[in-house]
Amino acid sequence: MYDRVLAQEGENIFSIPPSVQDEVVREEADELRFRFFGREMDDEDGHSLPEVDAQKVCNLIDALGGLFRLILLSDRSERRVYSIAFSDEPSANLRTALKRAVSLGFLHESSIGKKGSRTGGRTKLYVLTRRLAPHWTLDPTGFAGYLFLSARKLEPALTDPDGFLRKFDLDKLGGDGSVEQLELF
């Protein structure tokens, strides 16, 4: 950022304009998102990730980013959502994609208490990295809600993120329901 302003204005720099900050942050988010797209990538262990698995990770991240953007633009009372938790157990296919997304730094894995569960306990929470937020024009600051959804409903996003988002948008889930307890579809 400093270098850009220095090139534009010369030596006496007292501040970095918001437009330059926005431009650089968006470029960094896009670079992170597209770094591996369309070619094989390596996970943190150095194992090669086949292109089909890389595509599933990209589709998953696109679906989640798009989902969070749809929620932000909806009429919901809590629209700043960056994370998901599952109300059921993800399939092996979805678990693998989530694990790869975590190892590549696209998602962060945590846990939360199960809401409304008779058995109690905890469930995994997957949080979109704040570095990717500008790619979908999301505001990554502060605490945000999380979305409980059925893992089986997210499964189609691995192969068709646009179809998943169309289905979500058609269901008009923008009411005043609690984000933490919302079921997708």
Dump pLDDT digits (tens) for 37-74. 644 455 444 556 677 788 899 999 999 999 999 988 88
- Confidence at residue 7, expressed as pLDDT on a 0 to 100 scale: 78
Q: How far apart are CA 64 and CA 102, in angstroms?
A: 13
How does residue 181 score in pLDDT terms, banded at 50, 70 and 90? Answer: very low
**Pairing relation of β-strands 48-49 and 107-113?**
unpaired
How does residue 36 score in pLDDT terms, banded at 50, 70 and 90? Answer: low
> Tokens 């330059």 map to which residue?
20
Check whether 9 has a pLDDT greater than 60.
yes
- Confidence at residue 23, expressed as pLDDT on a 0 to 100 scale: 83
Instruction: Select the more confidently predicted residue: 138 or 76.
Output: 138
- Confidence at residue 180, expressed as pLDDT on a 0 to 100 scale: 44
How does residue 30 score in pLDDT terms, banded at 50, 70 and 90? Answer: confident
* 46 Rama class: left (phi>0) / alpha (psi -120 to 50) / beta: left
Instruction: Select the more confidently predicted residue: 77 or 123.
Output: 123
Amino acid at 107: L
How does residue 3 score in pLDDT terms, banded at 50, 70 and 90? Answer: confident
Sheet holding 81-86, edge to edge: 107-113, 122-128, 81-86, 145-149
Report the predicted TM-score, pTM, of the whole model to 2 decimal places: 0.78
Q: For the chain, give the percent of residues with pLDDT over 90.
A: 28
21-35, 57-71, 80-94, 167-181: segment of lowest average pLDDT: 167-181
Cβ atoms of 95 and 109 closer than 8 Å: no
